[in-house]
Structure 1
Amino acid sequence: MAKQISLREFQQGLAQRLREAQAEAEPTSRLGVQAGGGNWLLKLDDAGEMLPLPEFSAVPLTKSWYLGLANIRGVLASVVDFAAFMGGEHTVRTPDCRLLLIAERFHSFSGLLISRMLGLKNVQAMQPAEKATEKSWVGAAYRDEDGRLWQELDMSALVAHDDFLQVGA
């Protein structure tokens, strides 16, 4: 005769197995974006939303990469030109440009201006590569099947970095 268990025990066991499976499985999908001519990979839970570039108000006496403040559904968000922040040229605004809002869990209330969104990318299909920079917010680097370099953006390191936090000129 089969062992009888209560529905509660069954649900608890199932929930425990699901938690263990999620802990073991490292997500391999990343959000691919382009900024400053470079290709970037972000963990999906690091990105809040991807929006068409909204109107924003400039803030005087700030660094050139700090573009200002945008009203996103009643919440003010800082707008940072990610390419310029990295030391490159300012992003030329085109219809492909997007504002990548940083996930709420970072309590940053900021968005990064990117050149365009490139969709989901599978890092398991890429080969590890040497990092192009030693900046603390740049994680692992990869090359795709076409030889393009992709760098992981460590959002937690970026939003905690002094350079990102000090927008005053």
Structure 2
Amino acid sequence: MNVVPQISAFDLLADIERRSLAHAAGMPEQIEAPGLWRGIGFRVGDRFLASTIADVNEILSVPPLTHVPGTRHWVLGVANVRGVLAPVIDLKTFLGGTRTITTDSSRVLLVRQQAGSVGLLVDEVLGQRNFVNTQKLENAELDENYARFVYESYVLGDVQWSLFSMAELVRAPDFLAA
């Protein structure tokens, strides 16, 4: 008589996971492709910007805000994000534009900074964007309000995309002086 060894459900699932991971190709953001840049695309006014996926911790619908007296005109207030207060900045106003009119498309990009997270109000989030070196433009950004945070520009279809450094933004002295 043949005796079949009994295997527990846990051991069976662990074996399936081990074999699956051994053959996994990797997540799209983990696959390296020379000359390829990936990020989150968003719109501020009529400008199309993109930041690295690592720079944007979370994308939120516009939360209820509490005004904070004595702050700069581009600070919209603070939001309670899962029990943590995060200041919310109107990115377009900070960069020298007019106040963003909040619509159903408006979103808040949650970005980590030294003292916690900060929310950046943008007109619209446009999802993941991929750029290759052949789409790179020579002149990155001409507007000085944006130029200090833009390190490259690409053209995709008829749209110019500027790569926006959230790390530079949250370290800027005028941003920190909110």
Q: Give the shorter-chain TM-score range.
A: 0.7 to 0.9
Distance 1:128 1:55, change over 3 A: same
1:81 equivalent among 67, 83, 90: 90
> Match of 1:9?
none
Distance 1:107 1:43, change over 3 A: farther
- Counterpart mapping for 1:1-169 below 5 A: 28-102=37-111, 104=112, 107-124=115-132, 126-130=135-139, 131-134=141-144, 135-146=147-158, 148-167=159-178
Structure 2 runs not aligned, ≥5 long: 1-21
Structure 1 runs not aligned, ≥5 long: 1-13
Mapped to 2, the partners of 1:101 and 1:157 lie a distance apart of 15
2:36 touches 2:131 (CA, 8 Å); kept in 1? no
- Seq. identity, %: 31
Mapped to 1, the partners of 2:107 and 2:176 lie a distance apart of 21
Mapped to 2, the partners of 1:22 and 1:119 lie a distance apart of 18
Distance 1:106 1:40, change over 3 A: farther
Instruction: Please report how far the alpha carbon of residue 163 of structure 1 lies from its aligned counterpart in structure 2 after TM superposition.
Output: 0.9
Secondary structure of the structure 2 residue equivalent to 1:101: strand
CA RMSD of aligned residues (A): 2.4
Structure 2: which amino acid aligns with 1:38?
A: R
Instruction: Please report how far the alpha carbon of residue 28 of structure 1 lies from its aligned counterpart in structure 2 after TM superposition.
Output: 1.6
Instruction: Please report how far the alpha carbon of residue 108 of structure 1 lies from its aligned counterpart in structure 2 after TM superposition.
Output: 4.0
Distance 1:126 1:67, change over 3 A: same
2:113 touches 2:170 (CA, 8 Å); kept in 1? no
- Please tell me whether Structure 1 or Structure 2 has the larger radius of gyration of its CA atoms: 2
Structure 1: which amino acid aligns with 2:175?
A: F
Normalised to the residue count of structure 2, the TM-score between the two structures is: 0.74
